[in-house]
Chains A and B, each alone.
Chain A
Amino acid sequence: MKKPDFETSLKELEEIVEQLETSDLTLDETLAKYESGIKIYKQCYQILGKAEKRINILLKNSHGDTRTEEFNLKKSDDMESSAIEGE
């Protein structure tokens, strides 16, 4: 499945808006343009929200097999700050 390209879609949406604003379209044409514009708008919105936040680190054992584990950047910071706070 081909991923919808945000940049292209956005440009398309811009063009539609500009056409609607500047050219003398019939009412039918206007409605059709509006509909396809809204469709692209929804697609763009979906792309922005599609991926989930997930940070993994790849780990290898001595046999060279790999697995992934959640990576926590805050670990060392937390330790430092808790040490400062004297917990």
Chain B
Amino acid sequence: MYDSVPDIDTNQETQEVFHKRNTEKFFTVSEITRQIRTSLEYKFSDISILGEISNVRKPSSGHIYLTLKDKNSQLQAVVFRNVANKIKFELKDGMEVITFGSVTVYESRGQYQLIINKVEPKGVGALQLAFQQLKEKLGKEGLFDQTHKKPIPFIPQKIGIVTSPTGAAIKDILNIIDRRFANVEILIYPVKVQGEGAAQEIAEAITELNTLTDIDVIIAGRGGGSLEDLWAFNEEIVARSIYNSRIPIISAVGHEIDITIADLVADKRALTPSEAGELVVPRKDLLLDMLEKLETRLLQSLTGKLRLSKDKLVRIANSYAMRQPFDRLRRWQQRLDEFAQRLKLNITHALNNEREKLSGIAGKLESLSPLNVLKRGYTITTRLENNKSLREVKGLNKEDKIKTSFSKGSVISKILFIET
């Protein structure tokens, strides 16, 4: 941009010089351009213009250049970056829009153009249009695909909640969880849920919760509000963070009628924050009841089976087929007893006989005992060294020691000489 007071002064001086030299009056190009610009800006500032967008260009500078046209005319227009960043929907060729801005002149090209400060689609709200556009774009990319949706764990151990810690949503969610399944761990990731920077905070929170290892499921949401209030949940950055989440996500935004992009990407949509509390945990009392009933049935079927088996056993035991072998057994046992009795008698008899025989033999044995012989005056002589009885002198030598046993006592003698 190029306008300053001293510059104008210089031009005025120059003008005066020319005035003097030539009576003809003229403007420099710059001067006339500036005057045109001033008059245009004066006349056409802060105006609304309806037109169809064509020839949209979006260079890397961030400014958007486009042509507004109708049947007969065209108007060059520019949306500077600071304004472009605030436009929620995408400017596309063929779109009918109402623009707000001022006409000015781009001096270096001598072109007049409209500087757009605000733009709205005709007939539909800017946000609705933005929603439709993003929905279409992300839908085409597959962000809403059912196949990508992860199952919500039946009983999570730890739940992450991305919402405002002071909003109505957190209260509802915590109340419902507490009522259904109180003993569960919850980590609240506090975020702004509306206004500048809310979408970034929500997306960051979801991404960061994904770096924790113990979160089983995430609830992301807020209470009801206007479309503007809920807007963060319609931002692409939030949609992508949900899509990229490794942890399953339940969206819980506003009321049932408010469908956001976040709802479409989420693995599960809760109609309200309260419903998110219902979706995230089962009712523990019902589960306990179910378990108790199963346990009762388990026990009943076992006792039933046992009773049946017992009855069957008793029936079999009492049956003729089973009784018969028992009868035979008893008869055999009786006979066995008889045999045993008889056997016992026989053996005793035999034993007695043997015992008598034995005592007869014992008497004979006693009469033959050498001790009795000694009593009658005989002695027994043995060699001392080996205690062998001696029947003859053969083998004995002079000086050998012998032992002579009497009926009572014995003597040890040395052989003086041997007579044969």
Contact = CB atoms under 8 A, between A and B. Distances in A.
A31 B301 CA distance: 10
Interface in B350-402: none
Contacts of B158: 51
Report whether over half of chain A's contact residues are helix, strand or loop; otherwise say mixed.
Answer: helix
Contacts of A41: 291, 294-295, 298
B316 to A, nearest CB: 14
14 contacts: A6-B154, A6-B287, A20-B297, A20-B298, A44-B287, A48-B155, A48-B284, A49-B183, A53-B185, A55-B174, A57-B187, A57-B188, A58-B187, A58-B189
B298 A17 contact: yes
Nearest to B174: A73
Contacts of B295: 38, 41
A14 interface: yes
A59 B290 CA distance: 40
Interface in A20-62: 20-21, 25, 27, 30-31, 34, 37-38, 41, 44-45, 47-59
Contacts of A6: 154-155, 287
A14 B290 CA distance: 10
Interface in B141-161: 154-155, 157-158
Interface of A: 3, 5-7, 10, 13-14, 16-17, 20-21, 25, 27, 30-31, 34, 37-38, 41, 44-45, 47-59, 68, 71, 73, 76
Contacts of B284: 48
A17 B293 CA distance: 10
B163 to A, nearest CB: 11
Interface in B189-246: 189-190
Contacts of A71: 165, 186, 188
B261 interface: no
B151 to A, nearest CB: 10
Given A10-B290, A27-B309, A41-B294, A5 B187 contact: no
Interface residues of B, number: 35
Contact of A7 (B154, B299, B302, B305): B154
A21 B155 contact: no
B131 to A, nearest CB: 30
Report whether over half of chain B's contact residues are helix, strand or loop; otherwise say mixed.
Answer: helix
B291 A44 contact: yes
Given A34-B299, A44-B287, A53-B185, 8 more contacts: A14-B294, A16-B298, A17-B298, A20-B301, A45-B291, A48-B287, A51-B157, A56-B185
B183 A51 contact: yes
B170 interface: yes
3 pairs of A and B residues whose beta carbons are closest in the complex = A20-B301, A57-B188, A7-B154
A23 to B, nearest CB: 10
B298 A34 contact: yes
Interface of B: 154-155, 157-158, 165-166, 170-171, 174-175, 178, 182-190, 284, 287-288, 290-291, 294-295, 297-299, 301-302, 305-306, 309
A56 B122 CA distance: 47
Contacts of A73: 170-171, 174-175
Contacts of B154: 5-7
Contact of A25 (B165, B166, B175, B305): B305
Contacts of B189: 58
**Which of A3, A25, A71 neighbours the largest number of chain B CB atoms within 10 Å of its CB?**
A71
B105 to A, nearest CB: 47
Nearest to A73: B174
A34 B295 CA distance: 10
Contacts of B183: 49-53
Contacts of A68: 187
A55 B301 contact: no
Contacts of A10: 287, 290-291, 294
